[in-house]
Amino acid sequence: MQFVSVEQLDLFIRRCFMAVGLPEHDAKTVAMLMTEADANGSDGHGVFRLPQYIERIQSDGINLQSNIHIAEDKGAMALVDGDNAVGHLVMHYATELAMNRAAEHGVSWVGVRHSNHAGPAALYAKMPLKKDMIGIYVAVGSANHLPPWGGTEMLLSTNPIAVAIPANEEPPIVLDMATTVAAYGKVKTAAQRGESIPEGWMIDKLGNPLTDPSRANEGFLLPIGGPKGYGLSLIFGLLAGTLNGAAFGKNVIDFNADSKSFTNTGQFIIALSIESFGDVNLFKRNVDEVIRSMQASSKLPGFDEIRVPGERSLKIRRQREQSGIPIPDALYDALSRLAKSLKTESLRVL
């Protein structure tokens, strides 16, 4: 295991993207977001994905000179065409747009098509927090990993949702969850670390538990709550994919297996202006109260704390800002090979 500082990781990611021709301004935005993912503990969605993104760029699977633009516009609602740019750039643009529109209309829903994998969902849900807005983000996952309930054909992805709600003295509540029991990124991370995965995450094509993540392609993820998680994944796919004219279902390109084909990834972001509903500080104090009432409530035998969503991630962030971001050896080697192939300086460790 190596440890790297937030700053060095940011610079490294930036160098790699610039080495393959992404304009400096764009490379900075992507590196900032990817580094935030790692700093917050989204280990399957940060620098872990860098070699894959770079390969996709080198295979002309991503457009470096993109023209991200508004395709449909009704004021509070807009549809952004990502022009096959790096997903982070598309979603950064869409979320800024949603925040501007919500300031005027109280709420904004911005859908996105022709986008790409954009990292962990929480990144975009959290952006509106700085304007005292609530963010809600939903994405079509970049590979299908589960069948409809009762089926064996992988027609659905983990289609995650993230919601961020600000508090006053307490940290914001940040929910970031796949509609499956586990995100596929976690399976990939476990495989890279040589760890096994718990029963209940995946089953094989006969319905038996699958616990060896290196066999992940022989099975599929399980949705939360059985048919309910399937329903959520389906609905999120229709809203973030089909409605935007983006891929969903059998049209989804598995970006783990194919680095050339346009993925036409779909996402949407909702920004909600708290001010429109009433006094912002009163709301935030009420959120404080809700958080504290949960944390202070009595516990089941076997539990020593009650958390609210976002607590674990924040704890990791504080730890990593101090002691650095852990990079497993296999990932570090992959990043070193990447740096060498791009003729750029390798990732500096602590």
- C-beta atoms surrounding 278 within 10 Å: 9
Which one of 1-9, 191-199, 229-237, 313-321 is the stretch in contact with a copy of itself (CB under 8 A)? 229-237
If binding is defined by CB under 8 A, does position 293 make contact with a copy of itself?
Answer: yes
If binding is defined by CB under 8 A, does position 109 make contact with a copy of itself?
Answer: yes
**C-alpha to C-alpha distance for 176 and 157, rounded to whole angstroms:** 15
In angstroms, give the least distance from the CB of 158 to a copy of itself: 12
- Residue identified by tokens 């429109």 is 276
Residues 294-323 that bind a copy of itself (CB under 8 A): 294, 297-303, 305-309
- Residue identified by tokens 């990834």 is 265
Residues 142-171 that bind a copy of itself (CB under 8 A): 147-153, 155, 163, 165
If binding is defined by CB under 8 A, does position 262 make contact with a copy of itself?
Answer: no
Candidate residues 1, 277, 315, 340; the one interacting with a copy of itself per rule CB under 8 A: 277
In angstroms, give the least distance from the CB of 245 to a copy of itself: 6
If binding is defined by CB under 8 A, does position 5 make contact with a copy of itself?
Answer: no
| Burial class of residue 71 (count of CB atoms within 10 Å of its CB; 0-12, 13-18, 19+) | middle
Question: Rounded to the nearest 5°, which phi and psi values hold at 135?
Answer: -115, 140
Candidate residues 25, 130, 206, 257; the one interacting with a copy of itself per rule CB under 8 A: 206
Q: Which two tokens stand for residue 319?
A: 């730890």
Cβ proximity of 90 and 68 under 8 Å: yes
Nearer to a copy of itself, 117 or 284 (CB): 284
Nearer to a copy of itself, 27 or 221 (CB): 221
Residues 41-60 that bind a copy of itself (CB under 8 A): none
SS3 per-residue string spanning 258-272: CCCCCCCEEEEEEEE
- Residue identified by tokens 């089926």 is 151
